[in-house]
């Protein structure tokens, strides 16, 4: 393309995108055929003179999705833009809506969906539409009964997802972490609890979020751990938790004794799952998200573009100030 054609392509693009002229109108203005105008617009886009950005909250970053799938061997990835979000809650809502859309589009439709708990998954449950699927059985895969006065989100999440599909919810009646190993072993040996865990182990789809290893962890808020416990986990190399189990940068358990007192499915079940969907956002969760995608803990990742760029080693996308301190799962 010579300089004259390059300038013409830029002018055609200005008329088409900035002034909303049709290709026929542009042809009259520039003294060109409609065919020539189409060629100039295509060339301008190919040469990078035109950049099109979709800013709807449910828009997706398809290039980042393809890069994540290729880099980490995922079956699927969903990346939503940060765009004009001005608060942490907006980013969470966008990722939750994207996860709800992803669930709704799954084929075949899950028969049994095993889920974890936390504020991110509760947001997903709220974002799902009524009738998102037909008769899906929802089962908790890790304990979530709160041990302090704060109300937990585990039961509410499972019940809401099940209600919106017209299915049933099977709740795991146990705290996430027990103080004594003997208590944990006794609970998991109970016939009812063992049956629920077996049901979760046989699920065809898994849905979970992850928590960062910080003093604002939901495990501290819910009374399972205290700040000193978290400091010790971090000292041992913890980057966050997956279904209540704290892992290091390689996806390995950092504290076997704590893990032995944790109620729920082992991480190996996620690694062997045909469909395991991780819903994660927030720059503080980049280390745990990286551990998840590099250690085979998910087959699909639903996240925001800042997280995707960080995982891929690309330049950071500015986040809303309040989104930079996000820690809750």
pLDDT tens digit at each of 329 positions of the chain: 455 678 888 888 888 888 888 999 999 998 899 989 998 888 888 888 777 666 555 567 888 999 999 999 999 999 998 876 657 778 888 999 999 999 999 999 999 999 998 889 999 999 999 999 999 999 999 988 766 545 567 889 999 999 999 999 999 988 888 889 999 999 888 999 999 999 999 999 999 999 998 888 888 887 888 899 999 999 999 999 999 999 999 999 999 999 999 999 999 999 999 999 999 998 889 999 999 999 999 999 999 999 999 999 975 555 544 444 334 45
**pLDDT tens, 151-198?**
567 889 999 999 999 999 999 988 888 889 999 999 888 999 999 999
Q: Are 41 and 23 in contact (CB under 8 A)?
A: yes
Assigned domain for 52 exists: no
The two structure tokens encoding residue 108:
């075949």
Looking at the structure, do residues 22 and 67 belong to the same domain, yes or no?
no
Assigned domain for 231 exists: yes
Looking at the structure, do residues 164 and 310 belong to the same domain, yes or no?
yes
Residue 156 sits at φ, ψ, to 5 deg, of -60, -40
CATH number, domain containing residue 32: 1.10.10.10
**pLDDT tens, 235-275?**
999 999 999 999 999 999 999 999 999 999 999 999 999 99
Q: Are 132 and 100 in contact (CB under 8 A)?
A: yes
Query: What is the pLDDT at residue 5?
Result: 75
Query: What is the pLDDT at residue 323?
Result: 42
Please give the distance of CA 23 from its chain centroid, rounded to a whole number. Answer: 41
Assigned domain for 100 exists: yes
Assigned domain for 247 exists: yes
**Which pTM does this prediction carry?**
0.79
Looking at the structure, do residues 94 and 234 belong to the same domain, yes or no?
yes
Q: Which residue has the tokens 């609970």?
A: 187
Looking at the structure, do residues 7 and 73 belong to the same domain, yes or no?
no
What total number of domains does the chain contain?
Answer: 2
Assigned domain for 37 exists: yes
Looking at the structure, do residues 15 and 111 belong to the same domain, yes or no?
no
CATH number, domain containing residue 118: 3.40.50.1360
Looking at the structure, do residues 208 and 107 belong to the same domain, yes or no?
yes
Looking at the structure, do residues 173 and 149 belong to the same domain, yes or no?
yes
Q: What is the 3-state secondary structure (H, E, C) of the chain?
A: CCHHHHHHHHHHHHHHHHCCCCHHHHHHHHCCCHHHHHHHHHHHHHCCCCCCCCCCCCCCCHHHHHHHHHHHCCCEEEEECCCCCCCHHHHHHHHHHHHHHHHHHCCCCCCEEEECCCHHHHHHHHHCCCCCCCCCEEEECECCCCCCCCCCCHHHHHHHHHHHHCCCEECCCCCCECCCHHHHHHHHHCHHHHHHHHHHHCCCEEEECEEECCCCCHHHHCCCCCHHHHHHHHHCCCCEEECCEEECCCCCECCHHHHHCECECCHHHHHCCCCEEEECCCHHHHHHHHHHHHCCCCCEEEEEHHHHHHHHCCCCCCCCHHHHHCCCC
Looking at the structure, do residues 33 and 94 belong to the same domain, yes or no?
no
Question: Strands 112-115, 205-208: parallel, antiparallel or unpaired by DSSP?
Answer: parallel
Query: What is the pLDDT at residue 59?
Result: 66
Assigned domain for 54 exists: no
Looking at the structure, do residues 147 and 72 belong to the same domain, yes or no?
yes
Assigned domain for 15 exists: yes
Domain hosting residue 260, numbered range = 62-325
Q: Are 135 and 175 in contact (CB under 8 A)?
A: no
Query: What is the pLDDT at residue 215?
Result: 82
Cβ neighbors of 44 (< 8 A, separation 6 or more) are 9, 10, 12, 13, 50
Residues counted in the chain: 329
Looking at the structure, do residues 168 and 67 belong to the same domain, yes or no?
yes
Looking at the structure, do residues 37 and 72 belong to the same domain, yes or no?
no
Looking at the structure, do residues 86 and 177 belong to the same domain, yes or no?
yes
Assigned domain for 56 exists: no
Query: What is the pLDDT at residue 326?
Result: 38
CA neighbours closer than 13 Å in the CB half-sphere of residue 196: 22
């Amino acid at each position: 393309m010579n300089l004259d054609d390059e300038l013409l392509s830029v002018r055609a693009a200005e008329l088409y995108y900035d002034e909303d002229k049709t290709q026929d109108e542009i042809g009259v203005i520039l003294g060109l055929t409609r065919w020539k105008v189409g060629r100039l617009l295509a060339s301008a886009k190919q040469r990078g003179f035109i950049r099109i950005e979709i800013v709807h909250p449910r828009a997706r970053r398809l290039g980042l999705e393809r890069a994540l799938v290729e880099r980490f061997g995922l079956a699927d990835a969903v990346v939503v833009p940060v765009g004009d979000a001005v608060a942490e809650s907006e980013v969470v809502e966008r990722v939750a809506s994207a996860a709800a859309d992803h669930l709704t589009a799954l084929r075949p439709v899950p028969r049994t969906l095993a889920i974890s708990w936390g504020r991110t998954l509760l947001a997903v449950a709220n974002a799902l539409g009524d009738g998102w699927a037909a008769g899906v059985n929802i089962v908790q895969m890790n304990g979530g009964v709160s041990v302090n006065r704060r109300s937990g989100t585990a039961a509410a999440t499972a019940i809401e997802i099940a209600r919106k599909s017209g299915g049933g919810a099977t709740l795991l009646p146990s705290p996430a972490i027990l103080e004594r190993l003997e208590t944990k072993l006794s609970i998991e040996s109970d016939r009812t609890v063992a049956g629920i865990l077996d049901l979760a182990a046989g699920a065809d789809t898994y849905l979970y979020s992850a928590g960062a290893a910080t003093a604002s962890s939901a495990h501290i808020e819910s009374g399972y751990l205290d700040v000193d416990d978290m400091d010790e986990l971090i000292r041992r190399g913890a980057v966050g938790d997956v279904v209540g189990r704290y892992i290091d940068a390689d996806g390995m358990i950092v504290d076997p004794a704590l893990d032995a007192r944790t109620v729920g499915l082992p991480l190996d079940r996620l690694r062997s799952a045909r469909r395991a969907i991780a819903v994660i956002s927030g720059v503080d969760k980049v280390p745990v998200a990286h551990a998840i995608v590099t250690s085979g803990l998910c087959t699909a990742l639903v996240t925001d573009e800042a997280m995707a760029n960080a995982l891929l080693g690309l330049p950071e996308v500015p986040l809303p100030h309040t989104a930079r301190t996000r820690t809750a799962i």
